[in-house]
Amino acid sequence: MLHMKRFSMATGATLVALLAFATAPAFAEITELGDTTTPLAKPVCPATGGCPIILTETTALQIQSDGTTYPTMAAHNGRIVAFTVTPASVSAADVNGTPASKGKAAQPGLNATYGGASEVAITVLQASTKHFYKVVAESPLFQLQPYFGHLVQFVLDDSLPIAKGEFVALTVPTWAPLLTVDLTKTMFLWRPSRASSCLSYTNQSAQLMTGDNAQYLCFFNGTRVEYTATEITSPVPPPQPRKGTTKRRRKR
C-alpha cells in the first residue's frame, strides 16, 4: 500500500509538470530597433560651419549609436509595424526658395535642389560581403514636411517582414532634415548607399525597389540619422516536455 501511495504522488507531480508546459505562454515582444541611451532628438544647426543636417537622395544605415554597433539589426524574426523620426524645423524660404529682389539673385529651395518635397520610407536590408546591402522589404513613402520640428511615428498599413540579422535603414529619395552632427566621432557613425562620390549630395543613390543591391563604402563619423523602427517579434514556441517512462519501484 505504501508503494502505491508513492507511485500516485509521482504521477501527480508528472501531470503538474505537463500542465505547466501546456500552459506556458508564447508571447510576441515589441522592440524599438535603433533605440540607444540617447533618445531621438530634432537636429539643430551647429554654431559654426554651416548647417549640414539635411539627408539627401540616399538610403541611410546607422552603423553605430552611443557606441552600440548595428543598433538597427534585428535580434529575432518579426514584423516592422512603424517607424519614428524627428525632423528639424525648416523655414518656408529654405523649403521653397526665395525670388530675386534688388541686388539679390533668386535662391532655389530644398525642394527644387533635391527633386521634390521631403519624404521618407523605412527599408529592410540584408547584408552580404564587402558592404553590400540588398533591399528585402520597403514601406511606401511618407511626406515629412507637415511634421517638421516634431517627433512623428508613421504606422505601416502593411507590416514588413524582418529576419534575425537583417537591418533597418531609412530611405530618402529627395531630402530630409534628420542628421544630428558634431557628436562623439568614436560613438556615432552612419553609411549611405554610395560606393563613391561620398560628398556629392545630389547623386541619387536611394534604394527604392525590393531587390536593389548597393555597396555602402562611404561613412560619416560623429553623426546620427534620427530614426528608429518598431518591431513585433514572432512568438517562440514554448519548450516541449521530454518523452520518458516512469519506472516502477520493484517490490522487495
Confidence label for 104 from pLDDT (cuts 50, 70 and 90): confident
Q: At residue 154, does pLDDT exceed 60?
A: yes
Mean pLDDT of 187-193: 98
Residue 18 lies in a domain: no
Judge whether residue 24 has pLDDT over 60: no
**Cα(211)–Cα(190) distance, integer angstroms:** 22
Average pLDDT over residues 99-115: 87
Parallel, antiparallel or unpaired: strands 142-143 and 97-98: unpaired
Residue-wise burial string across 82-99, b where 16 or more C-beta atoms lie within 10 A, e elsewhere:
bbbbbbbebeeebbeeee
- Residue at 161 is within a domain: yes
Provide the residue range defining the domain that includes 184. Answer: 30-94+109-233
CA distance 160 to 158: 7
φ, ψ of residue 134 to 5 degrees: the values are: -110, 140
CA–CA separation, 54 vs 109, rounded Å? 13
Nearest alpha carbon to residue 81 among 230, 235, 234, 226: 230
239 assigned to some structural domain: no
Contacts of residue 91, defined as CB under 8 A and 6 or more positions apart, other chains included, come to none
- Statement: residue 20 has pLDDT above 90: no
H-assigned helices in the chain: 2-22, 92-96, 110-113
Average pLDDT, whole number, for the chain? 88
DSSP 135-193: EEEEPPPEE-GGGTTS-EEEEEEEEEEE-TT-EEEEEEEEEE--EE-S--TTT-EEEES
Q: Is residue 252 part of a domain?
A: no
pLDDT at 105: 84
Maximal CA-CA distance, the chain:
114
pLDDT of residue 47: 82
Q: In percent, how much of the chain has pLDDT > 90? A: 73
DSSP-based three-state secondary structure for 102: coil
Q: How many CB atoms lie within 10 A of CB 53?
A: 21
Q: What is the pLDDT of residues 207-224, one digit of tens each?
A: 999 999 999 999 999 999
Q: How many domains does the chain have?
A: 1
Q: What is the rounded CA–CA span in Å between residue 148 and residue 23?
A: 48
Q: Is residue 12 part of a domain?
A: no
Quick check: 50 pLDDT over 90? no
pLDDT at 32: 98
pLDDT at 103: 76
Q: Is 217 contained in some domain?
A: yes
Residue 82 pLDDT greater than 90, yes or no? yes
* pLDDT > 50? residue 125: yes
Residue 155 lies in a domain: yes
Q: Is residue 103 part of a domain?
A: no
Give the global pTM: 0.83
Is the CB of residue 169 less than 8 Å from the CB of residue 208? no
